[in-house]
Structure 1
Amino acid sequence: MSKTVLVTGASTGIGRATALLLARQGFTVHAGVRKEADGAALGPSVTPVVLDVTDAGRIAEVADSFDRLDALVNNAGVGVTGPVEFVSLDALRRQYEVNVFGQVAVTQAVLPLLRAARGRVVTVGSVGSWITLPFGGPLCSSKHAIRSLNDALRMEVKPHGVATILIEPGSIHTAAVDKLADEIEPRLDAIGAEGRRLYGEAYRTMTTAGLREERAGSDPEVVARAILHALTARRPRARYPVGRKSRLMSTLGRVLPQYTLDAVRLRALGLA
């Protein structure tokens, strides 16, 4: 019998690549998208599900629509960047609503199904949970949070036969990366004149270096294949660092003294 999986954030990038790969491998894939047009663009091999992970009512409807669910791939996410001093609290809340609370909400809703199927939860985190970048506080801290929550969940549900796996991508080149260049100035406008005076030049430098790194990154298919392994291996690993520089970044974040790590980060981003 084909295994059924729900993939959130499947409109583009890693989520789209994962949904299509799993469908090719024989899974029955329900792909969470924000717009019906995004679902149609995935083609006939997957079943699109309009799903906003911040909408509790819609999450409940989707969970209730399944008779059986073997796996959940938590991939939905957004990225907020900017100086901590000036990032709006609304933007920071949005970061956590999607990347943390949304992922937890979907997981909570489908865990009874996964427990019945002795299924798996695969969550897409980031090496940013190990190595925070300047101006990346909102995004990286949300990845720290979901890593910690995933660690707790892994131990809690193991006795019930549910495996919990974290995917930690490094540099991945997706369509979203190419759009970031157009967002630099609007994001600087959002922090006001004083924010631009204090941080504008450094933010532009950091973002330009970051975009260069991401454009040289791995294809989303690399992450999709790691997710496939996490779903099919008899003994999946607890964590999968995957993609360009993923192992290097997570290792540096764990072993270097803090001020040395600060200097490495600032030098790499042209901010030394």
Structure 2
Amino acid sequence: MAVRISMATMHLFGQIACILSVSAVLLWVVSRLFSRRGDGGTGVQKGYRYAVLITGCDSGFGHHLAQRLDAAGLVVFAGCLFPAGPGAQSLAKSCSTHLKVLPLDVTSDDQVQRAKEALRDNLPENGLWAVVNNAGIADWAETEWNTIKDYSHMVDVNLFGCIRTSIAFLPMVRATKGRMVYVSSILAFYTCLYMGAYSVSKRGLEAFADCLRVEMDSFGVKVCIVQPGNFGNATNIIRMKTGQDMWEKLDDERKHTFSRRYVDRVTESAVGKSGSTNVDAVVDAMVDAILSRRPKSRYLVASSVTDALFLHVCPYLPTRLADAIISRSPMYVERKAMLYSN
């Protein structure tokens, strides 16, 4: 009797799993059909009649996007944390005179307001078409290794910086029925060891962008999220620090718990060169979000085909299954062996 019940239960679970899988596929198909529904609004033609503001143009995605949009014939306002630095100077030399470098620290109310005034005084005839919230930072540490100050700094740049910029420039974008673009990360939905603070900031950013998308639909403004995978090798976004730097932050209890071996192993993994060195796929997605007549709500851009397949499935996995996959990763296995070791 017990065997019959077990088999029946397994059969029931199998049916449920099948129904859920088919439902997920159908929902995905429907979402694809309706992701670019309606007339999609308007696109942008080449020519110096529209402006685009990009934050975080000192390096990485923002730097390359500024060059691409300048070449496409838009007036680019390139926000740079260091306007006299090598990244900003490179843009000034390599791009047309229509590109304007702006000093822009997204954590500063004063700088954001000054940037708003600079745009208002120098807008081309058709106004501000898009704001690309690209400025961001990344740092690594396990949850207990961070201080509240570490979390506050991460969120102030990656989340509040985007909110601060968005609130300032939304009226200009609403006037053109343009675009608000947010550069998030796969770590907004995929759990990764020692990247908790970064994930918190990016998950919050996506929540903000999702709410804004619903609100802006009434005004004809499109809100898009770009989710890059592992492109750390191309952007150098990961903060460089040593195992000794991290070890000195820990109290005696946590030093005993995590061990110096593990801290050094995390350092090696976090600052090691990994990921794609080519940002073209991400920049292509950003350009589509800005210029396409019917942009997607989300652009997931993986650094490899294998990553792409997994990451598209990952958000739909049951939590226990997703956690089980992570717990079998080589780094997680190493971690368990090193805890409480000398």
Alignment TM-score, normalising by the size of structure 1? 0.90
User: Which deviations, in whole Å up to 9, do the C-alpha atoms of 1:88-120 show, x marking residues without a partner?
Assistant: 100100000000001010000000000111110
Residue aligning to 1:34: 81
Counterpart residue identity of residue 83, structure 1: E
Total equivalences in the alignment: 270
Contact 2:184 2:225 in 1 (8 A): yes
Residue aligning to 2:303: 244
Say which of 242, 246, 256 aligns to 1:197: 256
Say which of 329, 334, 339 aligns to 1:268: 329
Counterpart residue identity of residue 244, structure 1: S
Residue aligning to 2:72: 25
Residue aligning to 1:255: 316
Shift of 1:222: 1.9
Q: CA 1:183/1:222 → structure 2, altered by over 3 Å: closer, same or farther?
A: farther
User: Which deviations, in whole Å up to 9, do the C-alpha atoms of 1:1-59 show, x marking residues without a partner?
Assistant: 42211110110111111111111111111111111223212234231111100001110
After TM superposition, the structure 1 = structure 2 runs for residues 115-264 of structure 1, keeping only pairs within 5 Å, are 115-172=174-231, 173-176=233-236, 180=239, 182-199=241-258, 200-210=260-270, 215-245=274-304, 247-264=308-325
Counterpart residue identity of residue 60, structure 1: Q
Counterpart residue identity of residue 89, structure 2: A
Q: Which moved more, 1:40-49 or 1:184-193?
A: 184-193
Contact 2:107 2:157 in 1 (8 A): yes
Q: CA 1:198/1:41 → structure 2, altered by over 3 Å: closer, same or farther?
A: farther
Counterpart residue identity of residue 111, structure 2: R
Q: Distance in 2 between matches of 1:15 and 1:192?
A: 38
Shift of 1:248: 3.6
User: Which deviations, in whole Å up to 9, do the C-alpha atoms of 1:225-259 show, x marking residues without a partner?
Assistant: 11011111110000000131553453343132323
Q: What SS class does the counterpart of residue 70 from structure 1 fall into?
A: strand
Contact 1:125 1:147 in 2 (8 A): yes
Instruction: State whether structure 2 residue 53 is matched by structure 1 residue 6.
Output: yes
Shift of 1:142: 0.9
Question: For structure 2, which runs of at least 5 residues remain unmatched after alignment?
Answer: 1-46, 121-126, 334-342
Shift of 1:133: 1.0
Q: Distance in 2 between matches of 1:263 and 1:120?
A: 39
Q: Which moved more, 1:250-259 or 1:80-89?
A: 250-259
Instruction: State whether structure 2 residue 162 is matched by structure 1 residue 113.
Output: no
Shift of 1:185: 3.6
Shift of 1:182: 4.3
User: Which deviations, in whole Å up to 9, do the C-alpha atoms of 1:168-207 show, x marking residues without a partner?
Assistant: 0001122515x65544442333334443432344444345
Coordinate RMSD, CA, aligned:
2.1
Contact 1:128 1:140 in 2 (8 A): yes
Contact 2:140 2:270 in 1 (8 A): no
Q: CA 1:25/1:116 → structure 2, altered by over 3 Å: closer, same or farther?
A: same
Q: Which moved more, 1:238-247 or 1:83-92?
A: 238-247
Q: Distance in 2 between matches of 1:192 and 1:84?
A: 14
Q: Which moved more, 1:255-264 or 1:52-61?
A: 255-264
Counterpart residue identity of residue 155, structure 2: Y
Say which of 53, 56, 69 aligns to 2:128: 69
Counterpart residue identity of residue 108, structure 2: D
Contact 1:80 1:92 in 2 (8 A): no
Q: Distance in 1 between matches of 2:76 and 2:56?
A: 13
Shift of 1:83: 2.0
After TM superposition, the structure 1 = structure 2 runs for residues 42-121 of structure 1, keeping only pairs within 5 Å, are 42-44=91-93, 45=95, 46-67=99-120, 68-121=127-180
Q: Distance in 1 between matches of 2:130 and 2:330?
A: 38
